[in-house]
Amino acid sequence: MLRYFTLAIAACCLALSAHAQKTTPPAERGTYFGIYLKDLKLGHMYQETDTKATYNGKPANKLMARSVMNIGMMGSESTIKTSATVFMHPKTGATLSEDSTTEASGRVTTVKATYTERSVSYVADIQGTKKSGTLTLKPGETFLRDPSDTPGSKPIPGTHTKGKSFSADTQTLVDTEIVVREKELVVVGNKSVMAYKIQSLGTVPSTTFVDDSGAMLLTRVALGIEIRRVPREVALGSNGKGDLAELVGTRPTGISLEKIARASRTATYELGSVTRPLPANDSVQRWEELPIPGREKGEKTLKITVTSLDLPTSTTVALFASPEAAPERLRRFLKATEFVPSTDASFIALARQVIRGETDAARVAELLATYTHKSIKPDPSIAAVRTAGDIRKDPRGVCRDYTTYFATLARAVGLPTKQCTGIAYANGLFLYHAWPEVWLGTDENGADLWVALEPTWGAPFADATHIKLTEGEITDVASIAADMGRYTVKVLSIQ
């Protein structure tokens, strides 16, 4: 059962990768689905199973999914074509191999992975940047494997499976859980049916409803996206028109932000429908839970105060010579990662060239933010999560690209930098956004002083309409995927 849900998610969610296809409809032996967001049809998906396939000369189950989505994003139109193919052991459900690719606006990302009992090896081509590697399980870890993950298997309520799954999007192993619940009444294609509810917790949390044979009827993922089983003519019919950013954005209530948003320095909000923990309180943002019941079990309402600080004009602190020279609590914000190659000699040289010998952290932050804003051209059609190296080769992108690029340059010269994701106010809505925070020493009480920047929009600082939901690395957005598209925002005060 698991792979049906995984393929469905891969086909509809922009955070995942899949394989580009021609527009010729596939054979009729599979199943068609419509991809919807708030009842607006974005595209379609086709899914097919072959129980008589072979892999390396041995029997295997082959699962395939292909999709096409047409979306608008902040005024730009984009067609995203995807597909994924997975071979699995016919008895144990163990993954043998999986291939995935995505094509958006002519940019293609492919990932091919092969499995052994204890490892997965991958070869990726991320819009022209090639990489490969092998990920090995640690002692006590296992790959997520469900013996009932075969076509025609009946769901068993109470089944709870845990293990590691390979994320083609980030080329990492992630913790994943699959829980099978009892049947629930669900509406599919204007019909109410009883279906088993299956919840998946991993990179992209999802809820899937299946029939007695385990066949998918409906899947709900982040941002309110649904994949619904529909007749072929409906799936391949025309799509609706709408802007994805606006469709998943949150229109705030309470005090109007229209006249003061970009000049705001402090604001207090009531953030509702929260099920995932927010970052710890710091100099930029503080929160507390309010005694207000959520709409659903497990939801919380938080009171959040955001403080926007200008970069100091007086001397702050010097850059760190190396991560090891920084206090332990700051070292993770100086380290290089796969997406932030800050130890790469070319990035170190570039960052030093930009800061022109400056050593004060505040001045360095401003120089690098200005350079990042001028170096990257806005392009909302970029769907893949990219490394700073990929961005430098093709300097177009969205907020996460600006944030990744800035973090790489800043860490390269010893400036502790967080990559934050959350929501920020624009065009009357709170939209999903990413921005960096930099460390500029401590205050009079010895607390760390962080300042939020805005290299995407070109301001040296991020105003008080930026509500932080995650911090650390750009891929941490997966931790709040279940809440995306569901938040409510009430503005309590702003100045």
Phi, psi for residue 394 in degrees, rounded to 5: -135, 85
* 75-97 tens-digit pLDDT: 567 788 899 999 999 888 889 99
The alpha carbon dihedral of 33, 34, 36, 42 has a sign of: positive
Q: Closest Cα to residue 213, out of 202, 189, 229? A: 229
Amino acid at 147: P
Task: Say whether pLDDT at 15 is over 50.
Answer: no
Residue ranges of domains in the chain:
2-243, 253-494
Tokens coding 116: 């052994």
Q: What is the pTM of this model?
A: 0.79
The fraction of the chain above a pLDDT of 70, given in percent, is 90
The average pLDDT across 196-203 equals 83
**Where residue 346 falls among pLDDT bands split at 50, 70, 90?**
very high
* 382-399 tens-digit pLDDT: 767 788 998 999 899 889
E strands present in 366-456: 377-378, 396-397, 417-426, 429-442, 448-452
Alpha helices in 148-298 (DSSP H): 232-235, 244-248
Chain-centroid distance, C-alpha 198: 21
Q: Beta partners for 130?
A: 125
The average pLDDT across 163-171 equals 87
Answer yes or no: are the C-beta atoms of 229 and 188 closer than 8 Å.
yes
Answer yes or no: are the C-beta atoms of 144 and 176 closer than 8 Å.
yes
Please tell me the predicted confidence (pLDDT) of residue 150.
55
The span from the CA of 388 to the CA of 371, in Å, is 14
Sequence-distant (6+) residues with CB within 8 A of 345 are none
Give the class (CATH, top level) of 253-494: alpha beta
Quote the DSSP letter at residue 128: T
Task: Say whether pLDDT at 200 is over 90.
Answer: no
3-class state of residue 418 by DSSP: strand
Task: Say whether pLDDT at 3 is over 50.
Answer: no
Range name among 7-16, 329-338, 452-461 with the lowest pLDDT average: 7-16
The span from the CA of 98 to the CA of 120, in Å, is 10
Q: Closest Cα to residue 465, out of 261, 245, 287? A: 261
The span from the CA of 317 to the CA of 437, in Å, is 15
343 or 151, which is more confident:
343
E strands present in 308-428: 377-378, 396-397, 417-426
3-class state of residue 195 by DSSP: strand
Task: Say whether pLDDT at 268 is over 60.
Answer: yes
Q: Closest Cα to residue 437, out of 338, 362, 351? A: 362
E strands present in 275-320: 285-290, 300-307
Looking at the chain, the number of H-run helices and the number of E-run strands are 7, 25
* 19-45 tens-digit pLDDT: 223 333 444 579 999 998 878 888 999
Please tell me the predicted confidence (pLDDT) of residue 152.
62
Task: Say whether pLDDT at 418 is over 80.
Answer: yes
Amino acid at 447: A
Task: Say whether pLDDT at 1 is over 50.
Answer: no
Strongest mean pLDDT among 38-47, 128-137, 301-310, 456-465: 301-310
Answer yes or no: are the C-beta atoms of 97 and 88 closer than 8 Å.
no
Please tell me the predicted confidence (pLDDT) of residue 11.
36
The span from the CA of 85 to the CA of 111, in Å, is 11
Please tell me the predicted confidence (pLDDT) of residue 332.
95
Phi, psi for residue 304 in degrees, rounded to 5: -120, 130
Range name among 219-233, 383-397, 478-492 with the lowest pLDDT average: 478-492
**Where residue 476 falls among pLDDT bands split at 50, 70, 90?**
confident
The span from the CA of 208 to the CA of 215, in Å, is 10
Tokens coding 13: 């969610």
User: What Cα–Cα distance (Å) separates residue 247 from each residue in 36, 68, 243, 260, 484?
Assistant: 11, 19, 6, 24, 12
Please tell me the predicted confidence (pLDDT) of residue 232.
93
CA angle, 480 as apex, 462 and 203 as ends, to 5°? 125
Conformation bin of residue 401: beta by default, left when phi > 0, alpha when psi is -120 to 50:
alpha
Answer yes or no: are the C-beta atoms of 69 and 47 closer than 8 Å.
no
Q: Closest Cα to residue 371, out of 383, 381, 358? A: 358
The span from the CA of 153 to the CA of 1, in Å, is 7
* 242-252 tens-digit pLDDT: 777 677 789 99
User: What Cα–Cα distance (Å) separates residue 404 from each residue in 233, 301, 319, 336, 457?
Assistant: 42, 30, 19, 11, 15
DSSP letters spanning 289-301: EES---SSTT-EE
Q: Closest Cα to residue 219, out of 17, 31, 478, 479? A: 31
Please tell me the predicted confidence (pLDDT) of residue 91.
85
245 or 490, which is more confident:
490
Mean pLDDT of the chain: 86
Task: Say whether pLDDT at 377 is over 90.
Answer: yes
Please tell me the predicted confidence (pLDDT) of residue 274.
92
The average pLDDT across 231-237 equals 92
The alpha carbon dihedral of 364, 261, 225, 184 has a sign of: positive
Strongest mean pLDDT among 89-93, 289-293, 437-441: 437-441
The span from the CA of 343 to the CA of 389, in Å, is 12
3-class state of residue 54 by DSSP: strand
The residue whose two tokens read 């497990």 is 298
Range name among 143-147, 259-263, 358-362 with the lowest pLDDT average: 143-147
Please tell me the predicted confidence (pLDDT) of residue 157.
92
Task: Say whether pLDDT at 17 is over 80.
Answer: no
